[in-house]
């Protein structure tokens, strides 16, 4: 007997008596949008051929860029759900606010509609990431207060990786579950029950072209992994789509790092759309996530688009990272980009 994501969410919701169906209605908005996005991603090469021939799509519109399409699909399918109070997208400068009664519009949703979009043209996996918070009581008219919440307050988070199949992974704080889209029935079906990250993996994942600029703490840690100090011979993998790199880390273990660099001294990845949701999933699966010095989920955001250094992975690698960085902490320079 298969379990669809919809059935799974309904079951989860029974454990959240105050959710009253809103939560599943809201998640169904997200799954619908991701099915639309994956259909477009699958046609990406074709659309280019048609676009190059000067053809327009069936609605007679010019071909839209995929990231614009993905953003619009999420905005459209979520804005009609009255549980949504505020939508915050990596693609929109400002949050989109809805005028909903305070006991109806109870959720604030963040999303990165199409992560890794530079990989589309070369047929490499991309993804969608989402993160859900409650709108805090008393802050209905206070947008900054309602959106700038630390990651530990997330009620649910997840992503879809559009890879060799489309896989949805989510947590509502009671374990991590993975669902594979079965194209023959158009439904996400449970394929990974109660996912756990291996305690140690054999891959590290980082853009090594930036290595000369990494702060010393990171360079020394990577050297440790290469030397085999953790009792394993590490290999490296780097897709350049965070969702794909994280998905591998979740399944196989290991560590992903995006340290401060010369061009991004504060880190490149976004706290609210990328680091927080993946950190929530990692912790639920037995892993850890930090900005180099503090737990990601404890960080108090000061802007919706803020960036952060990001290190996420298995327990063994993350504990070794913490030991390494504590050991060099005395020297403040180890945290500055090197060049």
Q: Between 51 and 240, whose beta carbon lies closer to ligand AHM?
A: 240
What is the three-class DSSP state of 29?
helix
What is the x/- site pattern for ligand AHM, positions 207-236, by CB under 6 A?
x-----------------------------
Instruction: Count residues near Mg ion (CB under 5 A).
Output: 2
Q: Between 70 and 176, whose beta carbon lies closer to ligand AHM?
A: 70
240 binds ligand AHM (CB under 6 A): yes
Which of ligand AHM, Mg ion, none is residue 117 near (CB under 5 to 8 Å by kind)?
ligand AHM
Nearest to 173, CA basis, from 262, 269, 271, 284: 284
Pairing state of beta strands 255-258 and 269-270? unpaired
Q: Which of residues 268-327 bind ligand AHM (CB under 6 A)?
A: 268
Q: Between 20 and 118, whose beta carbon lies closer to ligand AHM?
A: 118
Where does 183-300 show beta strands of DSSP type E?
Answer: 187-192, 203-205, 235-236, 255-258, 269-270, 288-290
Please choose, out of 109-117, 143-151, 166-174, 331-339, the segment that lies near ligand AHM by the rule CB under 6 A.
109-117
Instruction: Output phi, psi for 22, to 5 deg.
Output: -60, -40
Q: How many CB atoms lie within 10 A of CB 156?
A: 24
Q: Between 118 and 331, whose beta carbon lies closer to ligand AHM?
A: 118
What is the x/- site pattern for Mg ion, positions 90-129, by CB under 5 A?
----------------------x--x--------------
Which of ligand AHM, Mg ion, none is residue 268 near (CB under 5 to 8 Å by kind)?
ligand AHM
What is the spatial distance between Cα 288 and Cα 212, in angstroms, rounded to a whole number?
Answer: 26
Nearest to 257, CA basis, from 233, 303, 225, 284: 225
Q: How far is the CB of 323 from ligand AHM (least distance, A)?
A: 25
The neighbouring-strand residues paired with 257 are 311
Which of Mg ion, ligand AHM, none is residue 283 near (CB under 5 to 8 Å by kind)?
none
Pairing state of beta strands 84-89 and 307-308? unpaired
241 binds ligand AHM (CB under 6 A): yes
What is the spatial distance between Cα 32 and Cα 3, in angstroms, rounded to a whole number?
Answer: 17
Select from 4, 64, 117, 191 the one that contacts ligand AHM (CB under 6 A): 117
What is the spatial distance between Cα 52 and Cα 290, in angstroms, rounded to a whole number?
Answer: 44
Work out the angle at residue 45's Cα, subtended by the Cα atoms of residues 39 and 49, and round it to the nearest 5 degrees: 120
The neighbouring-strand residues paired with 187 are 182
Say if residues 152 and 274 touch (Cβ distance below 8 Å).
no
Structure tokens at 238: 């780097």
Please choose, out of 49-57, 180-188, 240-248, 317-325, the segment that lies near ligand AHM by the rule CB under 6 A.
240-248
What is the spatial distance between Cα 146 and Cα 179, in angstroms, rounded to a whole number?
Answer: 30
What is the x/- site pattern for ligand AHM, positions 150-189, by CB under 6 A?
----------------------------------------
Select from 5, 8, 100, 115 the one that contacts ligand AHM (CB under 6 A): 115
Burial grade of 158 (CB within 10 A; 0-12, 13-18, 19 or more): buried
Q: Between 191 and 236, whose beta carbon lies closer to ligand AHM?
A: 236
Q: Between 12 and 115, whose beta carbon lies closer to Mg ion?
A: 115
Chain residues binding Mg ion by CB under 5 A are 112, 115
Chain residues binding ligand AHM by CB under 6 A are 115-118, 207, 240-242, 245, 268
């Amino acid at each position: 007997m298969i379990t669809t994501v919809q059935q799974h969410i309904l079951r989860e919701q029974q454990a959240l008596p105050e959710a009253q169906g809103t939560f599943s209605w809201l998640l169904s908005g997200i799954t619908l949008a991701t099915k639309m996005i994956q259909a477009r991603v699958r046609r990406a090469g074709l659309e280019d051929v048609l676009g190059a021939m000067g053809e327009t799509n069936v609605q007679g519109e010019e071909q839209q860029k995929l990231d614009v399409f993905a953003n619009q699909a999420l905005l459209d399918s979520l804005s009609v759900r009255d549980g949504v109070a505020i939508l915050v997208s990596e693609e929109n400068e400002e949050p989109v606010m809805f005028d909903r009664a305070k006991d109806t519009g109870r959720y604030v949703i963040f999303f990165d509609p199409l992560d890794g979009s530079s990989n589309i043209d070369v047929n490499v996996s991309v993804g969608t990431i989402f993160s859900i918070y409650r709108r805090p009581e008393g802050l209905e008219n206070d947008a900054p207060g309602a959106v700038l919440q630390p990651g530990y307050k997330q009620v649910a988070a997840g992503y879809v990786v559009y890879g060799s199949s489309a896989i949805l992974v989510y947590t509502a704080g009671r374990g991590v579950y993975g669902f594979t889209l079965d194209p023959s029935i158009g439904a996400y079906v449970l394929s990974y029950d109660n996912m756990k990250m291996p305690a140690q993996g054999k891959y590290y994942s980082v853009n090594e072209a930036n290595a000369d600029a990494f702060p010393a703490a990171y360079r020394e840690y990577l050297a440790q992994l290469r030397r085999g100090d953790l009792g394993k011979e590490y290999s490296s993998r780097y897709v350049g789509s965070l969702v794909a790199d994280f998905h591998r880390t979740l399944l196989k273990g290991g560590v992903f790092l995006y340290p401060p660099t010369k061009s991004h001294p504060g880190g490149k990845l976004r706290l609210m759309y990328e680091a927080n949701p993946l950190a929530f999933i990692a912790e639920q699966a037995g892993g850890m996530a930090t900005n180099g010095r503090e737990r990601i989920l404890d960080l108090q955001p000061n802007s919706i688009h803020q960036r952060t250094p990001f290190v996420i992975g298995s327990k063994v690698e993350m504990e070794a990272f913490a030991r390494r960085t504590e050991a060099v902490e005395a020297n403040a320079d180890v945290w500055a980009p090197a060049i």
